[in-house]
Amino acid sequence: MHLPLDKDKYFSLEAHSSLPRVDLRFVENHTAIVTDTIRDIKALKPPAATEAPLPHIDLKALQAQMTDAEHNFQDTRERYGVGVTQLAQNVFDAMSKTMPCRWDGQDILCYTVRIKSPYQAANCSGPNSSELDRVKKVLDLERFKMEKDNKRHSTGGTHSVIIVTTVAGGVVFPCYAKMINQPVGQKRLTNIAIVSMKKKCKKKEYKFEIACYPNKVVNSRQGIETDLDEVLQSEAVYTNVSRGDRALAKDLKACFGTADQKEICKEILMHGTLQITGTEREFFYESRTNEIVTQLAEMCIDSRTGYPLTKDQISSALQEINFQVRVGTQTMTALNKGKKEVNEAKVQAREAMKALEEKMPDRIVRASMRVRIVHPGEDDKFDNFLAEVKEILNSEGETSPVFGKVDSVCEDADRHILQVTCHPSLYRPIDQLCKKEYPKGSKSAVTTQIVSSRVTGPEAALRPVASRRGAAASNPRSSSPESSVGSNAAPTVARKGPQCRTCNVQQFDSTKEFREHVKSEWHLINMKRELKHLPPLDHLEFEMLPPEVRENFKAVDS
């Protein structure tokens, strides 16, 4: 296309700066449109006289914008290395945030320091020692951040390399290689419990393993979990789960008689050996220790005060006597055989109790228990029975002496009620004596009832007292002051007044005394405890209750 005006006259501002400016969009019958190439100029009709003229074009501003764009593009080109790896580009970008950097081939220049591949602190060199030290410190810090981010964002996939290019002004400029993560067709087995089984076939031993979810193996063997998919992470049989080596079909057929891996997984799951990790073993140890300490807290008392011991005191005592908690073969065997875990904590708690009584008799003793015995026989037969009970209470154990005492003896209509406090090891002989008193199948029987499994208080720790035996033998139907546990011991006279079954007071001297008892806090608290299905408190236990505990009991809504 040819313009009717002189080209140099109107298009060269440098040669004719004194000439007036001409709007190129309105030259003759043509309109110039701002485009990339001259081929896009089209001939248009001149605008109507009523239309407003187009705005003025500032060529100097356009030229300044073009210059800035070229500078920015040049700076961008200088930031990207040619033919470098993604790691090198990441190092350059990180270093350029804190100090001036530029590329020199595949090397990075920071000040006068040159960083060569593989871009570690050991690959830095420079004439200035202070600059070299600073660059090394910054490089180590940035590399540490990059490695930390890579671990956090790692997906475990494969990497592909693509070449990123930039097109500017018709020029194709290669930038750098960029790596992208792609998913892989592998199943990662993590946080698993491995169950293994060994099989012998044709004079050769094979080992097979399956991958299960933690804590699901024991539930499956105990019948709690029946869905196999909830137990197995993969319905595949392996020779080594850690390496992902699967078992051959011919080996499975030879050892199990079938190639159905689901059936084989069931057999390995039920009869295989469960591998316990160090973390699980530590968990079992802590759990077993807590169970033993809890049971000891219910079994023993302080021999000096007669009151219960805290768990911290018991733990310290076990450490002093060097008691070793076992999480051994019985627990592991129970887990592997699918049985319920053996109550080994109870066995070890008894062993610990014996050790504490032997090594710390002045601090810790076994708590006594209170038993009520109801004998329906005649007086002569009951006297013989009472003598045998006292003989058991005053017996000595195999390792250490154990003692008991008769708290109260009273008559109620045609039966005799006997209440004793004894060492727990004496309860079985007393119970056997009660069963032998009347033959099996007879109409009458001696019954026993545990009133309290742990007696606490100043007189709870039983000790051998010579006067106790003499006092008990001199008057078998009465309770002496030495053998009485508390002030609620019933008098030894014949029954004349009323009795309170709520507080286990067998007899009052008069009706007036009984009415005063019914109005007392002792009776009120025992009524509250009876509604809550709790055993009653004797008068000594009631006296030892703190005032705030009494108020709390009385405030309970019945």
Q: Which residue has the higher pLDDT, 373 or 53?
A: 373
Exposure string for 341-356, b = 16+ CB within 10 A, e = fewer: beebbeebbeebbebb
Which candidate, 429, 430, 406, 437, places its Cα nearest to that of 419? 406
For residue 50, the model assigns a pLDDT of 61
For residue 48, the model assigns a pLDDT of 59
Q: How many CB atoms lie within 10 A of CB 25?
A: 15
Instruction: Please tell me the least confidently modeled range out of 105-109, 118-122, 145-149.
Output: 145-149
For residue 207, the model assigns a pLDDT of 92
For residue 490, the model assigns a pLDDT of 39
Instruction: Please tell me the least confidently modeled range out of 121-135, 264-278, 488-502.
Output: 488-502
DSSP structure class, residue 18: T
**pLDDT tier at 65, thresholds 50, 70, 90:** confident
Q: What percent of the chain has pLDDT over 70?
A: 70
For residue 66, the model assigns a pLDDT of 84
Measure the CA dihedral 226/231/234/237, to 10°: -80
Q: Which residue has the higher pLDDT, 179 or 74?
A: 74
C-alpha 491/C-alpha 195 separation (Å) is: 68
Q: Which residue has the higher pLDDT, 409 or 290?
A: 290
For residue 200, the model assigns a pLDDT of 87
For residue 458, the model assigns a pLDDT of 60
Please check whether residue 502 is in contact with residue 524, taking contact to mean a CB–CB distance below 8 angstroms. Answer: no
Please check whether residue 497 is in contact with residue 510, taking contact to mean a CB–CB distance below 8 angstroms. Answer: yes
For residue 290, the model assigns a pLDDT of 92
| pLDDT > 80? residue 16 | no
Please check whether residue 231 is in contact with residue 242, taking contact to mean a CB–CB distance below 8 angstroms. Answer: no
For residue 197, the model assigns a pLDDT of 92
- In the chain, the domains with their CATH numbers are 1-55 (no CATH), 75-182 (no CATH), 212-272 (3.30.1250.10), 278-359 (1.10.10.900), 367-494 (3.30.70.240), 496-558 (no CATH)
pLDDT (tens digit per residue) in 211-251: 998 778 888 887 888 888 899 988 899 999 888 889 999 99
Mean pLDDT of 397-415: 68
pLDDT (tens digit per residue) in 169-196: 444 444 545 555 566 566 666 678 899 9
For residue 557, the model assigns a pLDDT of 57
pLDDT (tens digit per residue) in 284-335: 888 889 999 999 988 888 888 888 888 899 999 999 999 988 876 455 555 5
For residue 33, the model assigns a pLDDT of 53
Q: 313: alpha, beta or left, given left = phi > 0 and alpha = psi -120 to 50?
A: alpha
C-alpha 227/C-alpha 236 separation (Å) is: 16
- 376 preceded by a cis bond (ω within 30 of 0): no
| pLDDT > 80? residue 264 | yes
Q: Which residues contact 440 (CB under 8 A, 6 or more apart)?
A: none
CA 30 centroid distance within chain: 83
Beta strands in 202-312 (DSSP E): 204-212, 238-240, 245-246, 273-274, 300-302
| pLDDT > 70? residue 399 | no
For residue 480, the model assigns a pLDDT of 38
Please check whether residue 299 is in contact with residue 348, taking contact to mean a CB–CB distance below 8 angstroms. Answer: no
